[in-house]
Amino acid sequence: MTINKSFGKDLIFPLPLLRRRSEKIHHVNKEVFLDGLAISAARVLDGRVGLDLSIELSREEVLVTGKVAASWSGECRRCIEEVSGQLELAVSEIFLSTEQFKNEVNFSVEDAFPFKEIEGEEVIDLEEVVRDSILLALPFSPLCSEECQGPDPQRFPTDTTMEKKSPEKDPRWAVLDQLKFDKDNSA
């Protein structure tokens, strides 16, 4: 199976063109490059995202399902060393016409993406779906490992198993400690 390389503009699919084809399910298997796929300390390598999606048409809506994959890298929040990983995400999104957004008061409409219009033609733009799924899955503050002690563990300990002191009680509430309740309180 060959993977085509493309950029964000290639994630736009005109609905009339999709509807003219005889098959009801269209497959998108390509690698795209999107700028700005980064949050705090993690970013997608070269903006490269692999897509394996199916676009299913019905009369009033379009269902997009499949997988989105990307490699990411960032800095460990403790030792500031390079950390990397792989994202493989399941995608399941619905696109609706803008008229349905205006006419329907339906809770499921809030979770759908609207069709866009380019030069008078309705299109679905998968870039927003891909961006949302990748950016929400990137680690906000990655760790190289749970055991990472950081650059100077003597000065900045990260051990969370230290003994915890019980909070001091407020003396104004000490009288309440003397209250006793009947366990057999049958009325």
DSSP string covering 95-164: EE-HHHHHH---GGGGGSEEPEEETTEEEEETHHHHHHHHHHHS-SS--S-TT---S-TTTS-----SPP
Give CA–CA dist 125/14, Å, rounded: 9
For the question of whether the overall pTM of this predicted structure is more than 0.85, the answer is no
Residue 159: per-residue pLDDT? 61
* Residue 114 phi, psi dihedral angles, 5° rounding: -80, 155
* pLDDT the model gives residue 101: 54
Span 136-161, average pLDDT: 77
Q: Sketch the domain layout of the chain as residue ranges.
A: 4-137
d(C-alpha 88, C-alpha 90), whole Å: 7
Q: Which of 3-12, 43-52, 100-109, 141-150 has the lowest mean pLDDT?
A: 100-109
